[in-house]
A = this chain, B = another copy of it.
């Protein structure tokens, strides 16, 4: 885990208003080798949980999810933010993006998610939890089983992690940010008990 925190500190840019810009490796330019190390972590954490499917949301979760799916050798579904003309019947959930200040409906085709599925959610960020809760809503609609949630960067100063853990959902964040110092350009990470290096 430490390595991931060091890389985030080194490559992330802190912008005013507690915004962490990780465009250089996580959500515009991607560093496949670094992202693959994250995927290794989630594989080690969840490999005994009989995961049958991985779910994420387009666009920035896809890279992490497909690299993780390759290790589990299971299908990956990315929830779509719009319905294309040739999509079948979908499970839907309404989520709100604080980054974009807008609500949108995420869609997953019904045929790809069944009550036999044991689902791992993978995403790049956990902040207020809206995206994750939307995916969980869809997993519940399908009567599938949620195994847990793998997050690259959790903003520990926002409520998403607490909401999920209070529901007894297993959340494995590779780095949890306690606070960011805009002027000193320093990120303070939460000390984590579990280390899987």
Question: Could you give, for residues 28-39 of chain A, a 1 whenever the CB lies within 8 Å of some chain B CB and a 0 otherwise?
Answer: 111111011000
Interface of A is mostly: mixed
Partner of A67, one of B66, B85, B88: B66
- Residue A69 is within 8 A (CB to CB) of chain B in the complex: yes
Contact in complex: B66, A30 (CB < 8 Å): yes
- Residue A10 is within 8 A (CB to CB) of chain B in the complex: no
Q: Which residues of A, 53-72, contact B by the 8 Å Cβ criterion?
A: 58-59, 62-63, 65-67, 69-70
Question: Could you give, for residues 10-33 of chain A, a 1 whenever the CB lies within 8 Å of some chain B CB and a 0 otherwise?
Answer: 000001000101011100111111
Contacts A32-B66, A66-B32, A78-B30 given; does A21 touch B58 at CB 8 Å: no
- Residue A145 is within 8 A (CB to CB) of chain B in the complex: no
Task: Give A74 to B87 CA distance when docked, in angstroms.
Answer: 33
Partner of A28, one of B65, B69, B77: B77
- Residue A109 is within 8 A (CB to CB) of chain B in the complex: yes
Contact in complex: A30, B84 (CB < 8 Å): no
- Residue A48 is within 8 A (CB to CB) of chain B in the complex: no
Contact in complex: B32, A78 (CB < 8 Å): no
Question: Could you give, for residues 86-116 of chain A, a 1 whenever the CB lies within 8 Å of some chain B CB and a 0 otherwise?
Answer: 1110000000000110000000110010000
Q: Which residues of A, 134-185, contact B by the 8 Å Cβ criterion?
A: none
Residues of B near A76 (CB, < 8 A) are 29-30, 32, 63
Partner of A70, one of B24, B36, B85, B87: B36
Residues of B near A2 (CB, < 8 A) are none
Contacts A30-B78, A70-B33, A75-B31 given; does A21 touch B63 at CB 8 Å: no
Residues of B near A86 (CB, < 8 A) are 15, 19, 21, 23
Residues of B near A73 (CB, < 8 A) are 32-33
